[in-house]
Structure 1
């Protein structure tokens, strides 16, 4: 990939991770009336973890940053098919794995940017979008 594409993917990773790091109430407020399918969100986040590995190889993230995303990826892998059913809006407050994911996302942002408190991304169209 070219530098522009890699830089865009790095920003995409940081924006999604900022959303994951936010508190549940902030995440729900960000979602608003949109209802996202948990399975689609998990697939998107698993893609984020795979892409970040390649970005690390090309120097866009440090190996220490990548370790936090790998841990986050392992949490995602633990979400079985039954827990991927339903809406992410509900899972954010009922499935304890999302609390673990918040912790790992915060650690990633802390080591990458020096502070996990980041602005939430602007709303973006997504194939995970409205259910």
Structure 2
């Protein structure tokens, strides 16, 4: 790793993978009252999976990490447009793709960190427009 941006993106990828790997109940607890759209989760993870290619070229991830991240990206790409509509909390409950993604994220974290159980990222507070 040779850039501060690389370290930030690597850490964000690991945090997001921890959220994806968490048990459904923990994901729902993390969501709390937040209304997070499924399409936004899919887009964020797909972006990080694509960015990971460059991170691996610069040494931030190992080749086996990249293989796991590509698998997550492929599975996300298989989620059709109708399943991307609506709140993520509902998709977690009804779309089996998220069980597959959970398993893939766990494999990524096991390979990278030796344990899939990682602290979840701090929830982002909703933007209210007030300063």
Q: TM-score range by the shorter chain?
A: over 0.9
CA distance in 2, matches of 1:25, 1:101: 15
Whether the 8 Å CA contact 2:2–2:58 is kept in 1: the answer is no
**1:31-110 pair list within 5 angstroms:** 31-110=31-110
Q: How far is the alpha carbon of 1:32 from its aligned partner? A: 0.1
CA distance in 2, matches of 1:74, 1:126: 29
Structure 2 regions of 5+ residues with no counterpart?
A: none
CA distance in 1, matches of 2:6, 2:49: 14
SS in 2 for 1:42: helix
CA distance in 2, matches of 1:55, 1:126: 29
TM-score, normalised on structure 1? 0.92
Aligned residues: 127
TM-score, normalised on structure 2? 0.92
CA distance in 2, matches of 1:102, 1:86: 19
Structure 1 regions of 5+ residues with no counterpart?
A: none
Q: How far is the alpha carbon of 1:93 from its aligned partner? A: 1.3
| Residue 112 of structure 2 is aligned to residue 112 of structure 1 | yes
SS in 2 for 1:33: coil
SS in 2 for 1:99: helix
Q: How far is the alpha carbon of 1:3 from its aligned partner? A: 1.4
Q: How far is the alpha carbon of 1:73 from its aligned partner? A: 0.5
Q: How far is the alpha carbon of 1:82 from its aligned partner? A: 0.6
1:15 paired residue number: 15
Once the two structures are overlaid, the 10-residue window that deviates more, 115-124 or 18-27, is: 115-124
Q: How far is the alpha carbon of 1:53 from its aligned partner? A: 1.1
Q: How far is the alpha carbon of 1:125 from its aligned partner? A: 5.1
CA distance in 2, matches of 1:69, 1:93: 23
Q: How far is the alpha carbon of 1:124 from its aligned partner? A: 2.4
